[in-house]
C-alpha cells in the first residue's frame, strides 16, 4: 500500500498549474501549489508525516522516494514545491529558521569571498555576518544599499554576492533591485534578496535577483506560531545544489509539522497581504497627520522619498511601517504600554498587530533612532487600530 506510486502521487498537484488557463493568479497558486488529494485516504487537507525513516525498496535505494527525514520528507518536499511555484523559481529549500536559510547562503561561499550587505537590514543578518562569518574569513562590506553608487564603489574582484533587503528594517528604505541585480551580474556576483516583508507583492525574480530568501516565520506562517526559513532559486544550478547540500548535510531542517504550518499559511497569504497592505496604508495616513508624530516611514505614502520606486517595484506597499515620536526615548518606550490592541512584541507578519521599540531590542550597535516605533499591522479592522493608536498617543 505504501509503495513508491503512493509517494509520487502524494506530491502531485490536484490540478497542475499548467492546466489552469491561461495562467493562474497568485491566489490560485497559493491555494493549490504542492498539494494533492491523499491517495491513501482521500483527505483534502495535507496529512502530516512524522516518520523519521522510510522503508527501503527491496533492491536498495529509491532516488525519487524518501529514506530519512533529515534528507527529505513528504511535508518538506510539498512545501518546497509550493514555495518554488509561488515565487516562480526553479527550486526551493526549506530551513528551520530564516537565519538558518541566511546561514546556508553564506556557508555556500568560501573564506576570502567578498559580500556586500546593507548597513540597514534585519539586525539578525548583520549579527550573523559579524559574529560568525567575518571571523570565518568572509569579507563583508556594509553599504548604504539604497544608493547604487555606494554599491558600485564596494565591488571588487572577489565580490561573489550582494545581499539586499527591501523595504529595509526598520526605517523602511527601498533598494532598487533591478539596478542592484545589474551591478551584481556585471561583477559576476549573485543577488540574494531577503523578501520577508513582501511575499507576493514584490517579485525579485522579475527584477533579476538570483535567490529569494524568506523568514517564513513571518507572513508565510502568518499566525505567529511557527519558525521557519526558505531559499528559492531562479535556476536549479550549481549554487542551488550547494545550498541543498548544506541543508541536508548541515541539518538545519524544519520539522514536518512546521512545514505543514507554513504550507497551510501560504494558502491565505495573498489574501492576507492585501488586507495587511490596505490596513497599513490607513494607519500610516493617520499617523502622518498626528501632531505627536514627527516622521512616518511607509512607502505607500506619497511623502516617502522613494514612493515612485516603491510603486514601480511593488504591487502594494506592505504591512510594515515605523514612525518617530516627538519627545525622547522614554516617551517612545512608554507608548507601547498604553496600546490595547497592538501587542508589545517583536516579530511581524501575524494576524495580530504588534508594536515595538526597535532600538531596545537591537543591542549596542543599533543605528535605529531612539524614538522610533515599529508596527506590524495585522488583520484587525483598521478603524480599531487607528482608535487604539489614537488613545495611546493622546496622553
Ligand X SMILES: *Cc1c(COP(=O)(O)O)cnc(C)c1O
Active site residues: 70, 122, 194, 218
When the beta carbons of 13 and 97 are compared against ligand X, the nearer one is 97
Residue list 11-70, contact with ligand X (CB under 6 A): none
Q: How far apart are CA 365 and CA 158, in angstroms?
A: 27
Q: Which of 13, 75, 169, 353 binds ligand X (CB under 6 A)?
A: 169
Does residue 166 belong to the site contacting ligand X (CB under 6 A)? no
362 lies in the site for ligand X, by CB under 6 A:
no
**Contact with ligand X (CB under 6 A) among 39, 124, 148, 327:** 124
Q: What track of x and - describes contact with ligand X for positions 62 through 101 (by CB under 6 A)?
A: -----------------------------------xxx--
Would you list the DSSP string of 249-301?
A: II--PPPHHHHHHHHHHHHHHHHHHHHHHHHHHHHHHHHHT-TTEEEEE-TTS
Q: Write out the H or E segment, with its range, that includes residue 180.
A: helix 177-186
Residue 208: burial class (beta carbons within 10 Å; 0-12, 13-18, 19+): middle
Q: How far is the CB of 78 from ligand X (least distance, A)?
A: 20
What cell was used for 196? 520577508
Which stretch in 119-127, 235-243, 245-253, 321-329 sits in contact with ligand X by CB under 6 A? 119-127
**Nearest-approach distance from CB 122 to ligand X, in angstroms:** 4
Residue 168 lies near ligand X (rule: CB under 6 A): no
The radius of gyration computed from the CA coordinates of the chain, to the nearest angstrom, equals: 22
Here the cell at position 8 is: 509520487
Residue 96 vs 293, nearer CB to ligand X: 96
Q: Which of 54, 122, 286, 317 binds ligand X (CB under 6 A)?
A: 122
In the complex with ligand X, the residue whose CB is nearer, 218 or 264, is 218
Considering the rule CB under 6 A, would residue 163 count as an interface residue with ligand X? Answer: no
Instruction: Give the residue with the Cβ less far from ligand X, 83 or 125.
Output: 125
User: Which residues 183-242 are close enough to bind ligand X by CB under 6 A?
Assistant: 194, 196-197, 215, 217-218, 227, 229
Question: What residues contact 122, with CB distance under 8 A and at least 6 apart?
Answer: 165, 169, 194, 196, 215
Instruction: Output the nine-digit C-alpha cell for 300.
Output: 505607500
The piece of 63-71, 117-125, 135-143, 303-311 that touches ligand X (CB under 6 A) is: 117-125
CA distance 99 to 337: 29
**What's the min distance (Å) between Cβ of 365 and ligand X?**
17
Distance CA 158, CA 267 (A): 41
DSSP secondary-structure letter at 31?
H
- Minimum CB–partner distance for residue 97 and ligand X (Å): 3
Looking at the Cβ atoms of 86 and 214, the one nearer to ligand X is: 214
C-alpha cell at 383: 478603524
Of the pair 10, 211, the CB lying nearest ligand X is at 211
Cβ 68 to ligand X shortest distance, Å: 25
Say if residues 175 and 165 touch (Cβ distance below 8 Å): yes
Short-list 101, 113, 123, 122, CA closest to 233? 101
Residues 6+ apart with CB under 8 A from 155: 116, 183, 187, 189
Closest residue to bound ligand X by CB: 98
Closest CA to 158 of 137, 179, 174, 173: 137
Q: How far is the CB of 302 from ligand X (least distance, A)?
A: 25
Phi, psi of 187 (to 5 degrees): -90, 0
Nearer to ligand X, 191 or 293 (CB): 191
Q: Residues touching ligand X: how many (CB under 6 A)?
A: 16
Smallest distance, ligand X to C-beta of residue 349, A: 8
97 or 353: whose CB is closer to ligand X?
97
The single residue listed with the C-alpha cell 490560485 is 28
Contact 216, 197 (CB under 8 A): no
- Least Å from the CB of residue 96 to ligand X: 8
Contact between 321 and 298 (Cβ < 8 Å): yes
Which residues lie near ligand X (CB under 6 A)?
Answer: 97-99, 122, 124-125, 165, 169, 194, 196-197, 215, 217-218, 227, 229
Amino acid at each position: 500500500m505504501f509503495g513508491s506510486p503512493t509517494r509520487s502521487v502524494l506530491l502531485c498537484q490536484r490540478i497542475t498549474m499548467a492546466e489552469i488557463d491561461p495562467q493562474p493568479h497568485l491566489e490560485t497558486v497559493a491555494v493549490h501549489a504542492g498539494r494533492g488529494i491523499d491517495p491513501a485516504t482521500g483527505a483534502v487537507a495535507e496529512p502530516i508525516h512524522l516518520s523519521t525513516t522510510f522503508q527501503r525498496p527491496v533492491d536498495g535505494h529509491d532516488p525519487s522516494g524518501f529514506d530519512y527525514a533529515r534528507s527529505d520528507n513528504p511535508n518538506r518536499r510539498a512545501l518546497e514545491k509550493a514555495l518554488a511555484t509561488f515565487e516562480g523559481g526553479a527550486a526551493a529549500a526549506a530551513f528551520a529558521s530564516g537565519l538558518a536559510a541566511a546561514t546556508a547562503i553564506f556557508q555556500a561561499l568560501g573564506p576570502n569571498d567578498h559580500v556586500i550587505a546593507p548597513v540597514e537590514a534585519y539586525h539578525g543578518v548583520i549579527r550573523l555576518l559579524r559574529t560568525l562569518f567575518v571571523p570565518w574569513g568572509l569579507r563583508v562590506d556594509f553599504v548604504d544599499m539604497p544608493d547604487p553608487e555606494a554599491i558600485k564603489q564596494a565591488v571588487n574582484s572577489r565580490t561573489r554576492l550582494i545581499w539586499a533587503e527591501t523595504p529595509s528594517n526598520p526605517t523602511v528604505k527601498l533598494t532598487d533591485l533591478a539596478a542592484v541585480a545589474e551591478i551584481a551580474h556585471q561583477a559576476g556576483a549573485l543577488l540574494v534578496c531577503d523578501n520577508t516583508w513582501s511575499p507576493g507583492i514584490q517579485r525579485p525574480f522579475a527584477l533579476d535577483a538570483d535567490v529569494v530568501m524568506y523568514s517564513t516565520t513571518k507572513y508565510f506562517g502568518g499566525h505567529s506560531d511557527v519558525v521557519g526559513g526558505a531559499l528559492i532559486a531562479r535556476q536549479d544550478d550549481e549554487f542551488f545544489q550547494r545550498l541543498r547540500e548544506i541543508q541536508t548535510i548541515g541539518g538545519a531542517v524544519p520539522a514536518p509539522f512546521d512545514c505543514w504550518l507554513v504550507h497551510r499559511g501560504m494558502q491565505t497569504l495573498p489574501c492576507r497581504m492585501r488586507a495587511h497592505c490596505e490596513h497599513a496604508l490607513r494607519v500610516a495616513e493617520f499617523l502622518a497627520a498626528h501632531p505627536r508624530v514627527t516622521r512616518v516611514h511607509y512607502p505607500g505614502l506619497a511623502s516617502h522619498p522613494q514612493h515612485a520606486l516603491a510603486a514601480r517595484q511593488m504591487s502594494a506597499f506592505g504591512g510594515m511601517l515605523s514612525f518617530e515620536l516627538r519627545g525622547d526615548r522614554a516617551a517612545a518606550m512608554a507608548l507601547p504600554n498604553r496600546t490595547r490592541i497592538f501587542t508589545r512584541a517583536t516579530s511581524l507578519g501575524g494576524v495580530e498587530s504588534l508594536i515595538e521599540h526597535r532600538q531596545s531590542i537591537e543591542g549596542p550597535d543599533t543605528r535605529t533612532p531612539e524614538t522610533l516605533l515599529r508596527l506590524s499591522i495585522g488583520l484587525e479592522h483598521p478603524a480599531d487600530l487607528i482608535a487604539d493608536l489614537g488613545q495611546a498617543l493622546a496622553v
